[in-house]
Amino acid sequence: MKKWNVGTRRSRLALIQTNWVVDRLKEMAPEADFALHEIVTKGDRILDVTLSKVGGKGLFVKEIEQSLYDKETDFAVHSLKDMPAELPEGLVIGAIPKRVDPRDVLLSKDGKTLDALPEGAIVGTSSLRRAAQLMAYRPDIQIESLRGNIDTRMRKLAEGNFDGIILAAAGLERASFDGTISQYLPVEISLPAVGQGALAIECRADDTETLELLRQLDHQPTRLAVTAERSFLHKLQGGCQVPIGAYATIGEGDLITMTGMVGSPDGKQMFKNTASGTDPVALGIQVAEALLAQGAGEVLAQVLRENEQ
Ligand SMILES: NCc1[nH]cc(CCC(=O)O)c1CC(=O)O
């Protein structure tokens, strides 16, 4: 009997996601056996430091990728938004399952919506993308850093440190926290991170047996959308430490429509562009180039300089 070794982070959300993938694969290949390998990543070890200050790129995936190279594991389940725009040599995304809700959500004291938060409200997030967009919409809001896994962040809200916090709907949904959401933020206010709400199952490019297994879980419309978003991210050379967002949807005839965003961390400058096309890579590049033509390159360069200090 074939046994697959599966890499995962140890967080509650990561384990839920990995078990979800393994359960789907067991339905498709009842004769197969799966063993989970929990891997502690650098990102998990430095939860008390703002991610943007430690060079966030790939912080949650590096050790897991090493275990793929070492053949200690055959595939690994990641949140797609934690993955750098470019995969290391020899590794591929073998499957992208159907995306769940890509939106950001507000969790607040007394269930208040963003518009109902008091003047000068304190909102917790360590994401430059979320902070920039919140301040663009409500310049009076004070952003404070908020790190940790979902449980930690929700506890800090309950302890009264914040008027509200921003999280991804996807994580809450998968971990069944959904009763606590105060508002789903429209993508017009908070454009999601590239790949938000999607999972990526990574494996070795030459491992045809694993690729064949994983292919059954691949959702083509999600792959098209996420490929456009990642092409946009790649063109802008962005990681999770820059205020970049993108969201693509698939319409009739596999027409992809994508909005891309670059903002300054204070939200005072916002560059957005929306375009449609059928080639996801070309569309990502096209939207990125439209933002660069508006002046987004200077904002990105400024953020990178600040991160280096
Ligand atoms: N930044 C960490 C992270 N990476 C993936 C998710 C869950 C959402 C997803 O799978 O897209 C989260 C939590 C969050 O942003 O609230």
Question: Could you list the residue range(s) of the whole structural domain that residue 35 is in?
Answer: 3-97+198-218
Residues 54, 203 within the same domain: yes
Mutate to test the pocket of ligand 1, among 64, 83, 129, 196 (most ligand atoms within 8 A of CB): 196
Mutate to test the pocket of ligand 1, among 50, 81, 133 (most ligand atoms within 8 A of CB): 81
Does residue 34 lie within any of the structural domains?
yes
Residues 209, 267 within the same domain: no
Q: What share of the chain in percent tops pLDDT 70?
A: 94
pLDDT at 192: 98
Q: Is the Cβ–Cβ distance between 167 and 150 less than 8 Å?
A: yes
Give the pLDDT band of residue 56 (cuts 50, 70, 90): low
Cα separation, 117 vs 112, in Å, equals: 6
Residues 85, 118 within the same domain: no
What are the tokens at 234? Answer: 């790649």
What's the CATH code of the domain at 254? Answer: 3.30.160.40
Residues 161, 208 within the same domain: no
Does residue 68 lie within any of the structural domains?
yes
Does residue 228 lie within any of the structural domains?
no
Q: Which atom of ligand 1 is nearest to the CA of 17?
A: 10
Q: How many other C-beta atoms can be found within 10 angstroms of the C-beta atom of residue 228?
A: 31
Cα separation, 199 vs 77, in Å, equals: 7
- Residue 279 above 80 pLDDT? yes
Overall domain count for the chain: 3
pLDDT at 239: 61
Residues 51, 128 within the same domain: no
Does residue 191 lie within any of the structural domains?
no
- Span from the CA of 229 to the centroid of ligand 1 (angstroms): 16
- Residue 50 above 70 pLDDT? no
The bridge status of strand 122-124 relative to strand 142-144 is parallel
Mean pLDDT of 152-166: 93
Region of poorest pLDDT, from 9-23, 217-231, 239-253: 239-253
Cα–Cα separations (whole angstroms), residue 116 to 75, 81, 123? 45, 29, 13
Residues 294, 170 within the same domain: no
Residues 110, 91 within the same domain: no
Does residue 223 lie within any of the structural domains?
no
Q: Which one of the listed residues 82, 104, 163, 207 is annotated catalytic?
A: 82
DSSP-based three-state secondary structure for 111: helix
Region of poorest pLDDT, from 29-43, 71-85, 232-246, 293-307: 232-246
Does residue 139 lie within any of the structural domains?
yes
Residues 116, 173 within the same domain: yes
Region of poorest pLDDT, from 41-45, 85-89, 223-227, 272-276: 41-45
Residues 153, 295 within the same domain: no
Mutate to test the pocket of ligand 1, among 8, 13, 20 (most ligand atoms within 8 A of CB): 13
Helices H, strands E: what count in the chain?
A: 10, 13
First to last CA, the chain: 53
pLDDT at 194: 96
Residues 252, 302 within the same domain: yes
Cα separation, 163 vs 125, in Å, equals: 12
Residue with tokens 């050790």: 63
Cα separation, 141 vs 67, in Å, equals: 43
* Paired residues of 77 in beta bridges: 201
Cα separation, 33 vs 121, in Å, equals: 50
pLDDT at 176: 87
* Cα angle value 297/302/308 (rounded, 5°): 130
pLDDT at 46: 65
pLDDT tens digits along 98-157: 999 999 999 998 999 999 999 999 999 999 999 999 999 999 999 999 998 888 899 999
Residues 27, 158 within the same domain: no
**H-helix or E-strand spanning residue 292:** helix 280-294
Report the nearest-CA residue for atom 1 of ligand 1.
82
Cα–Cα separations (whole angstroms), residue 148 to 46, 125, 141? 9, 10, 22
Region of poorest pLDDT, from 214-218, 239-243, 305-309: 239-243
Mean pLDDT of 207-230: 97
Is 44 a catalytic site residue? no
Cα separation, 176 vs 154, in Å, equals: 13
pLDDT tens digits along 171-187: 999 998 867 899 999 99
Cα separation, 108 vs 117, in Å, equals: 8
Does residue 264 lie within any of the structural domains?
yes
Residues 39, 89 within the same domain: yes
Binding-site residues, ligand 1, Cβ < 6 A = 79, 81-82, 167-168, 170-171, 196-197
Mean pLDDT of 46-52: 53
Return all residues near 271 (Cβ < 8 A) that are at least 6 apart.
261, 262, 263, 291, 294, 295, 296, 299
Q: Which atom of ligand 1 is nearest to the CA of 193?
A: 11
Does residue 132 lie within any of the structural domains?
yes
Cα separation, 272 vs 290, in Å, equals: 8
How many Cα atoms sit within 13 Å of 223 on the Cβ side?
A: 13
Cα–Cα separations (whole angstroms), residue 239 to 51, 170, 254, 296? 11, 20, 27, 15
Residue with tokens 């792959």: 223
What's the CATH code of the domain at 212? Answer: 3.40.190.10
pLDDT at 62: 85
